[in-house]
Amino acid sequence: MRREMKRWENIHLTGINRLPAHTDFYRYETKENARTFNKESSIGYTLLDGVWKFLFVDAPELSPKGFEAEDFAVEGLDDIEVPSSWQIKGYGNMHYTDVLYPFAINPPFVPQENPTGIYFRELEVSDLADDEALILKFNGVDSAFDLYVNGQHVGYSKVSRVPSEFDITEYVKQGSNRLTVRVYQFSDGTYLEDQDMWWLSGIFRSVELFKINKNTLQDVFVETLPDENYENFTLKVGGEFLTNDVKGLFATLYHRDEKVDQFDIEVADGKFETSKLVEKPLLWNAEEPNLYHLVFEYCLPNGDKEIVPLRVGFRSIEVIDNEIRVNGKRIFFNGVNRHDSHPKTGRTVSYEDMLQDIKMMKQYNINAVRSAHYPNNDVFYDLCDEYGLYVIDEADLECHGFENTGNYNWISDNELWEKQYVDRAVRMVKRDRNHPSIVMWSLGNESGAGRNFTAMYNAIKAIDPTRLVHYEGDRVAAYSDVYTTMYTRLKPLEEIGKNAEGKKPHILCEYGHAMGNGPGGLTEYQQLMRKYPRLQGGFIWEWCDHGIETTNENGETYYLYGGDYGDFPTNGNFCIDGLVYPDRTPSPGLIEYKKVIEPIVTEEVNVAEGKIRVKNLYDFKNISGIVLHIEVKSFGTLIEEKEIKLPSIQAHEVAEITLPIDVAKAAQHDDVRIYLSYREAEDTLYAEKGHEITKESFLLDSTKLEKSVKTIASIGSDFIIEDEAAQLIVENDMFKAVFSNVYGTLESFESEGEEIINKGPEVTLWRAIIDNDMYKKDDWINKYFLKNTKEQLGEVTYEVSENHVDVVITKFLSTVNQAWGFHLTYNYRITKNGALNIDLKGEKVLRGIEIPEMLPRIGVTMNFNQDYNDVTWYGRGDSESYQDTKRSQPIGLYNKTVEDMHTDYVYPQENGSRCDTSFLSLAKGDHKYLINFKEEYDFTIHDYETSALEEAKHRGNIKKSPFNVLTIDYKQSGVGSNSCGEEQLPPYRTVIEDFRLQFEIRKIEKDSLVEESKFFTAR
């Protein structure tokens, strides 16, 4: 039976009575007001945001009869805030999917269970002159809607994330008017809006009203075209008026307060186009975002003058010699994908929210953003123009769910849908084409391939031939000016880089999936992309976790994700995949990314002579005057501090610098490190003076400390040994050690009458699963049973000497039904002074055919007295680090509480490691214990057990233990980004191999940590 398309299913319909798309601009009465670009002071502007009346029904057909009528009673209806999404306000159901449509695929039809929100607002209208019109603008409505005024149907529109405007002049009367908007959650447009995000509906962006003159400017656009040397630019201006009655414009070009040029523009039949040569303008790029103001003046037939300002950036974007070039220079994208997301308001974001994001991106060395996967609010692009970010502006188009049908191109290659595809491209380009920050248009995301993308490409080029067009789904770059891939592994990426002759330039539109603990391995990506000219950078997925804020019974904030609302099917916490947490707290991943993409690289030349090499990786910017702050330290002791300003170093140039430090003086100390911090010399738009751009540190090799063994006079009494069937007890008046003769474990260690260790050390191969382990965890848990490793006792022996006791325990470590494992030898040496020295050797045993290629870790875990919760360590810090995410964390002396060693990921998982550590201490007031490492190891310490971390699914749900859990790693595998990307790279994988861990635990004086760390007392 053939089903008739309802209005919201009609693929032949892009809208009813919707006005043509145009660039965003505002009209003013004076130049002074115009150049503020404050739309609230523009002519005829009214913001209609605020409280509207709201009625929610389960389907459009269930709308009350006469709901659109002017006299429909709304007094008893609910209030709702506009803009907002109704699910966030408690209507309908929250639902998150990554790929799946939430209904059966039967395009263009959608379920009859189609939640519908009806919005009501009273609008006061004063007398309208004959030459005045009222334009109602909806900046974002998900997914389709009908507009009524005073009971009359004004129009219909779809495409959730581009504006829709309607002329309501003929429908209003003087006095009070009823606006009614009926919004449909699902429409045929939903098949084109299957992005990885929450399914949220309603009027989620601002509603605006414009009182305009019927003869006013309708559209205006600019292009900047360079000469062959990129010195002089032609400013091309075009546009049209609503009628033919305006005969000319006067244009003035300003740079800041300086008038650069002015010229007349003739208008013929309502349209105008002119070109003007501008000599040697300051050019726009992301590093130096120079903007001009182009101010238009014209007189209306009634004698009123209107002034329209535009921001203009002189910028070209081209592919030349197979390179993406801005203003003739090759550029490199250190980018990020960004969704609109706020923990309290969902996809409704304010100006302040967007400004915060952009400032943070700049502070963390990000130079590009992809508007994944839809056009943003217009003001977002204003901010990118002003602050300096390259933008890939993406059409509101994703059909990812079709991939699972076996026909990914179902509608993308269907000519019946062509109009819908093209409409989305054209409306985006016509609104946003004046923004210099936009260097590429994107046809959408993950929608297969087909004829409709060719049509989009051609439509865009007809409107704007000056920019590049991007689409990752175009595997042969037929309708994409760049060759784009996502999540490409390093080996095939290198092949793309090598295969460059005659090929289009390449970008990674998504890589480095930032889900949970990660992404790791970014350094290797950066090095590879910097190596091959064809590879011009990439965009991390993604900027922000999409968690929805809530509180627990204790008033603590945590964040919800897919499945927490009973939504099914769902992709769970796959929406928690950002470089910042929902509240914009930077994750360790963002801190690492800032270092990886640093624009200033420092290399050793001869540290012994204070010589370094400084590379300027900016594409345009001279780093002259950047402040270089220098600290020379031995452990935590500052030896010398200096500050200089960098000399002139042009983009991509290198300079050698001799640091003004006394190396000879420094060399008299142990383990001397030179810490370099590059800082802004003055306030910038996005950061204050002194903001750190990047940092580096170097060890003065001649001062590297080799730890020794120091004989300490014994003050403890003679040893007392109790060797019984169940226990071996070794003690004197300084300590008491209890070993299990049954299990071969250290059950307890007391020092000066206080229990310090109540379990361990024991070997562990396990870590709480991180998101990037998701494709390994099943084998780890159910094939190799790595969570269930057990130590089988061989024997316990001991030997008493004059000043120490050696307890040697042999074991075999393996797990359920596995033949591989390790022969372990624990050698405990305890001195009369109570120093506990542990030398653990593991010899690999490879038997059988089922052997894991990679282990989460090889380490030991022990339970420490929870009162000792003050942690000091000499290693990488002060944030967490793993072997593939440690570049941002210099080696130094750091201090935190045990609680603060936890990284509070939205979805709890392995966290808090500190790499390359030489020693640490745990203190309770004046009581302190040194844990001194023979080699540099990684460690974690937490106030919970791994099992508690795995059981918790949200922040605040981790059950605390009555002890602190210290884990010392011989090796822990890196984190990678395999939740959607590269696995842990070979150098960062822990494999079954022989290992040795040596460390000593002893009580020390409160202020003697550094000196005590230089030696061992037992051996």
- Rounded CA-CA distance 114/9 in Å is 11
Instruction: List C-alpha distances in Å: 316 to 89, 234, 490, 504.
Output: 44, 11, 31, 18
- Rounded CA-CA distance 912/908 in Å is 11
Closest CA to 873 of 841, 921, 910: 921
- Do 861 and 845 meet the contact criterion of CB atoms below 8 Å apart? no
Instruction: List C-alpha distances in Å: 934 to 357, 635, 745, 918.
Output: 44, 17, 22, 7
- Rounded CA-CA distance 147/164 in Å is 11
The sign of the CA dihedral 460, 465, 469, 475 is positive
- Rounded CA-CA distance 886/415 in Å is 51
Closest CA to 773 of 516, 454, 397, 510: 516
SS3 call for 913: coil
Instruction: List C-alpha distances in Å: 823 to 264, 380, 795.
Output: 88, 60, 12
- Rounded CA-CA distance 514/581 in Å is 11
Residue 4 a catalytic site member = no
Six-digit token pair at 272?
Answer: 């105008």
- Rounded CA-CA distance 16/385 in Å is 33
H-type helices in 433-557, by residue range? 451-463, 490-498, 522-531
H-type helices in 407-510, by residue range? 418-432, 451-463, 490-498
Identify the active-site residue in 9, 68, 208, 510: 510
Six-digit token pair at 359?
Answer: 């400032």
Looking at 60-140, which runs of residues are DSSP E strands? 78-82, 96-97, 116-125, 132-138
- Do 477 and 935 meet the contact criterion of CB atoms below 8 Å apart? no
Q: How many CB atoms lie within 10 A of CB 123?
A: 18
Residue 510 a catalytic site member = yes
- Rounded CA-CA distance 661/641 in Å is 8
Length of the chain counted residue by residue: 1019
Indicate the DSSP class of residue 780. I
- Rounded CA-CA distance 665/608 in Å is 11
H-type helices in 674-803, by residue range? 777-778
Six-digit token pair at 344?
Answer: 């309290």
The amino acid at residue 915 is: C
Six-digit token pair at 669?
Answer: 């100390």
The sign of the CA dihedral 153, 155, 160, 161 is negative
- Rounded CA-CA distance 26/310 in Å is 9
Identify the active-site residue in 418, 446, 598, 696: 446
Instruction: List C-alpha distances in Å: 651 to 228, 386, 1018.
Output: 21, 21, 55
**Residues with a known catalytic role:** 446, 510
